[in-house]
Amino acid sequence: MIFPFTAIVNQEDMKLGLILNVIDPSIGGLLIMGEKGTAKSTAVRALADLLPEIEVIKGCKFNCAPEGPYCIECLEKIKNGESIEIEKKKMEVVELPLGVTEDRVVGTLDIEYAITKGKRHFEPGLLAKANRNFLYIDEVNLLEDHIVDLLLDSAAMGINRVEREGISFFHPARFILVGTMNPEEGELRPQFLDRFGLCVEIKAITDKNLRKEILKRKIEFDTNPEKFMQKWEPEQKKLVKRILEAKKLISEIEVSEEIYEKVVELTSELSLDGHRGDIVLLKSAKAHAAFNLRKKVEKEDIKRVAYFALKHRLKRLPFEEPESEVKRLYDILSRI
Amino acid sequence: MISFPEFKEAFPELIGNYPAKLALVLNLIDPNCGGVLLAGKRGLGKSLLLKLFKKYLNLFKIPYVEIPLNVTEENLVGGIDVEKTLEIGYRVYQKGLLDKAKNAYVLIEEINLFPAEYLSLIFQRSYNYTIIATLNPEEGFISSHFLDKIGMCVFLEKLEDKKAYFELLRFWEKEKDLENSYLESYSNLYKYIEIIKSWRTNVKYENFIWDYIVEICLKNRAFTHRAEIFLFFASRAYAALKGDSVIKPDYVNFVAPLVLLHRMKNVEEKLQPQQEKKENQEQSQKNQEEPQNQSQNKPEKLPQKEQEKSSSQNEENKEENEEPDLDSLEIFLPSAPKEEIFDLGDVFKPKRLLLKKDRIIRSISGRRTKSKTHLKGGRFVRSVIFSKDKDIDLFGTIKTASPFQKLRGRKDKLIIYKEDIRYKEKERKISHLVVFVVDGSGSMAAQRRMIATKGAILSLLMDCYQKRDKVAMILFRKFNADVVLPPTSSVELAYKKLKDLPTGGNTPLSAGLFEAYKLIKKYHLKSPEDRILLMLVTDGKANIPIKIASDPLEETENICYELKNLSYVDAVVVDTEIKRDFLKMDLAKEIAEWLGALYFALEEIKSESLLNIVNLSKNFLYRNEAKS
């Protein structure tokens, strides 16, 4: 049994960051920077548990969506005119452990098949499993470089292309990348940092009453999980409904000329590298509007999400505190 | 109402160490307590206690799993049994130790010696099982991130009481049959624990106890929520042990040190023998004017011992008066340095310091030097016939077997003979520990030399940052040397320390090098495969010896030779002496010779003015060959 998402006390930034990514997975994931013991992994698991089942092509190892994109195998099926059956599956949190090997991540030669049939065949790895699910990396800053490179590739393209051990294969790998890190234990490569759509910082709560509430709920949950789940059922249902509505709404969201201007103004004034910042900012503002069941992006949406979308993209030399840039960001935001 | 007479009677083979016994008993009562880390120097009974715990589990058929230090990843998490698979022709899975550990106790000896990758696997699912581990802080700690996932931590104490000590000697005089001794005591313990176990869920709690728990945690700066959660379960278990039906604040107080000690900030630093810490401690004691801590002011030769003792003293006190003062848990205040602190000088791109690629197989990751690796990770380089670890390169194997298929009479199954099997050779970059030994003496303050020095160190730090090196920093000045920063991969942290590095006083150079020597030895024990780079930043004008009345330079020379004899250490000396000065002595150059180190004047370390990389690495090559 998993602790209910809505029962997580406070940590609003983290919760919102996750929800925005669910509403629009193309935002590109969430990096959670924070100390230990602040409900990071609980939140991710809880959200996956909360969400309704997704439709996948039956028998597909890569969770291909009925509407595509497809993996090689499904493509072949469609080409051959075979009928596609649809089944429902619960969303998963696929965890990438620190010592993971290359073949576990991207997939490898299927040993059984190779031996019994004497033919090359692809055995899916974690990226296949993560397609349309959450890919969760704890302590992402401690991940080995060559694994990071693999993830960078797939995260950018949404496709896992395998060329190794004599096999060529590709399959869609669109996942919500959630990473956690404690910045005191080492930094993340800027290039990888940039791949995370949003970044939130969470701090341990020091308010006595909030902490008390957390402890109470956790003990309540541990001693009688069924009862606790029942108690939170209405809240959970409400949130699911809201997220689903937002997901439907997102394609209808309007963005006025003024909002475009504001976004560009903001990012150009901060002189960010690249355009990912602008794009992510706009996307998450849209998702935020949808989450509040509005059809139009307002300035408030930008204000709320700008910090998540831009903070980790601010210019900064190693060892330099980004404080001054952060201050500038707030200054500009207050003008909007 | 039941009451367990004395948890002190548990595990009678070990004398004393009641906090540790209490922690184990609480975890037997309620596995929600989150496990125990038994810390302490060698010979204090950590392993014995773990053995006794295992004996208890064995006697009463309680499931447990042991994870030995030589465990492989496959054994840990399970996977495909490749060799069997190849033999039989269909897939054979093997279950990992951690899969078997669900709802069981996991016993781990010397947990700090496991590679970080394995620890991350072990702790990833730690909510499934209860970890009981031992650790010797002399050989390094585990990351606070992992530490937080263990419920309790106890520092074993040396017996101070003479009577108890005699008892111990008398006890161990005769050969013991550990397996069969004190069986009655164990079965009594079991009976009690079983009763208490079912009782614990009846223990009620009143509303104010939440506030109380939260307050204790906040007061001791244990900010993770696990502190409160574990403290709650521990208090409840203790209330049950006491046969009570409500959790009382007293119970919380009693178990709080077990849960909070390792969650307070800087527990690791606390265990480092550091003069500075002692100063702080004294300061904070004066500030707080706490009678309980006054007893610690006795001068001690070994600060570490004192700290360990004092923590256990606190615990003992708690046992005796049952009304402990919360503030008696050691809390260190950061000292306000009175000395001059210089700004950081200009940053520049330092020369690349390359070490040659050797052929030793290692299991470390980093970015500076490439090395062969036997961990599962790493980049696949080629397929080989022999390999120590059995990581089969399947493609290579099939490729080798394929030309012979017809000859071997293949029908439908691929025919693979033993001689076809190929293994994977992998490579990854290993990391280095760079130990900065920095001169903070008064001569460095002259003409604001420290600014340039800090700039140089910062530049070198930047290099470490890009290469994912670990760094440690030792500062020597006044009369002694301090480990300002124990080995860490957070270069950021090193930067922060560097910013606040004080200057002023004498030059106890030999003490600085000796501290480095100790640190390097200790680090090498833990990570024998890491290479270490000693970066000595000084003008070489040693004027304070370690031993009173001996010649500081002679001492330095001796330690330098010791360091030079360590084959895994490379050294670089950065000379901060002002060269246009009349009084230039070039002492640092001499020290570099003693160390067999590369020598640079401060100005030279900027990349524009240095020799090219090839020369530099050749220099290292030469030295390494000379050593071996």
Pair of tokens at residue B70: 């030589």
Largest pairwise CA distance in chain B: 89
Question: Which of B269, B398, B400 to substitute to test the interface with A, most A CBs within 10 Å?
Answer: B398
Considering only residues B85 and B243, tell me which one the structure prediction assigns the higher pLDDT: B243
E strand segments, B320-363: 340-341, 361-362
> Does A99 contact B228 at a Cβ distance shorter than 8 Å?
no
**Average pLDDT of the segment spanning B447-474:** 75
B597 Cα distance to chain centroid: 28
Q: Spell out which residues of chain B touch residue A46, defining contact as CB-CB under 8 Å.
A: none
Residue A144 CA neighbour count, 13 Å, CB half: 26
Whether residue B609 is predicted with pLDDT greater than 60 in this model: the reply is no
CATH class of the region A251-335: mainly alpha
Extents of the domains making up chain A: 5-202, 251-335
**Is B377 in Cβ contact with A100 (below 8 Å)?**
yes
What pLDDT score was predicted for residue A32?
92
**Mean per-residue pLDDT for B575-582?**
75
- Considering the segment(s) B340-357+430-627 as one domain, its CATH architecture is 3-Layer(aba) Sandwich (3.40)
Digit-coded pLDDT (tens) for B76-126: 877 666 667 666 666 677 788 888 888 899 999 989 888 777 888 888 777
Please tell me if residue A216 touches chain B, with a CB cutoff of 8 Å.
yes
Give yes or no for B240 touching A (CB within 8 A): no
Half-sphere exposure of B511 (CA within 13 A, CB side): 25
Measuring CA to CA, how many Å separate B134 from each of A218, B141, B160, B382, B407?
Answer: 28, 11, 22, 39, 56
Contact criterion met (CB < 8 Å) for A186 and B491: yes
Q: B462 vs chain A: nearest CA distance in angstroms?
A: 7
Q: Which residues of chain A have pLDDT under 70?
A: 111-120, 165-166, 184-186, 315-322
- Farthest CA pair distance, chain A: 68
| pLDDT score at A208 | 87
Give yes or no for residue B26 having a pLDDT over 80.
Answer: yes
Angle between helices B552-564 and B509-526 (to 10 degrees): 20
**Does position B349 have pLDDT exceeding 60, yes or no?**
no
Rounded to the nearest 5 degrees, what angle is found at the Cα of A293, between the Cα atoms of A289 and A297? 25
Asked if A281 and A267 count as a contact pair (C-beta separation under 8 A), the reply is: yes
Between residues B610 and B251, the one the model is more confident about: B251
Q: Is A105 on the interface with B (CB under 8 A)?
A: no
**Which residues are CB-neighbours of B542 under 8 A, at least 6 positions away?**
B507, B508, B509, B510, B552, B553, B555, B556, B587
pLDDT for residue A325: 75
pLDDT class for B64, splitting at 50, 70, 90? Answer: very high
From 3.40.50.300, 3.40.50.2000, 3.40.50.1860, 3.50.50.60, which CATH number describes the A5-202 domain?
Answer: 3.40.50.300
pLDDT at residue A198, rounded to an integer = 93
B480 band by pLDDT with thresholds 50, 70 and 90: confident
Which residue has 């060959």 as its token pair? B625
Tell me, yes or no, if B381 comes closer than 8 A to chain A by beta carbon. Answer: no
Classify residue B109 by burial, with Cβ atoms within 10 Å: 0-12, 13-18, 19+.
buried
Which helix H or strand E contains B407, and what residues bound it? none
Distance from CA of B37 to the nearest CA of A (A): 18
Q: What is the pLDDT of residue A274?
A: 77
**Residues of chain B neighbouring A182 (CB-CB closer than 8 A):** 145
Confidence of residue B427 (pLDDT cuts 50, 70, 90): low
pLDDT of residue B38 exceeding 50, the answer is yes
| The 3-state secondary structure of B270-293, one letter per residue | HCCCCHHHHHHHHHHHHHHCCHHH
What pLDDT was estimated at residue B316? 40
* Under 8 Å between Cβ of A200 and A32: yes
Mean pLDDT of B438-447: 77
CA B492 to chain A, closest CA, distance in angstroms equals: 6
Cβ–Cβ gap B224/A204 under 8 Å? yes
The distance of A176 to chain B (nearest Cα, Å) reads 20
Q: Minimal Cα distance from A42: which residue of B?
A: B127
Residues 133-152 of B with CB under 8 A from A: 143-145, 148
Please state, for a pLDDT cut of 70, what percent of chain B lies above it.
Answer: 69
For B526, the token pair is 């833990």
Residue B452 has pLDDT above 70, yes or no: yes
Closest-CA residue to B361 (of B393, B389, B392): B389
Residue B590 pLDDT greater than 60, yes or no: yes
A184 touches B at CB < 8 Å:
yes
Is position A104 annotated as part of the catalytic site? no
H helix intervals, B71-224 = 73-77, 82-88, 97-100, 116-124, 144-147, 162-173, 183-200, 207-219
Task: Please give the angle made by the CA atoms of A36, A38 and A41, to the nearest 5 degrees.
Answer: 90
- According to the model, what pLDDT value does residue B285 have? 42
Chain B CB contacts of A212 under 8 Å are 210-211, 214
Structure confidence at residue B618 (pLDDT): 36
Q: Are B476 and B512 in contact (CB under 8 A)?
A: yes
Q: Min CA distance, B271 vs chain A (Å)?
A: 19
Q: Output phi, psi for B288, to 5 deg.
A: -85, -20
Name the active-site residue from A45, A174, A195, A276. A276
Q: Does pTM surpass 0.90? A: no
Least confident range from A221-235, A271-285, B272-286, B591-605: namely B272-286
Say if domain B18-260 classifies as CATH 1.10.3720.10: no
Mutate to test the interface with B, among A215, A216, A217, A316 (most CBs of B within 10 A): A215
**Mean pLDDT, chain B, integer:** 73
| Separation of alpha carbons A74 and A82, rounded Å | 9
Is the predicted pLDDT of residue B574 greater than 50, yes or no?
Answer: yes
- Chain A, residues 223-262, CB within 8 A of chain B, namely 223
Q: Which residues of A touch B115 (CB under 8 A)?
A: 99
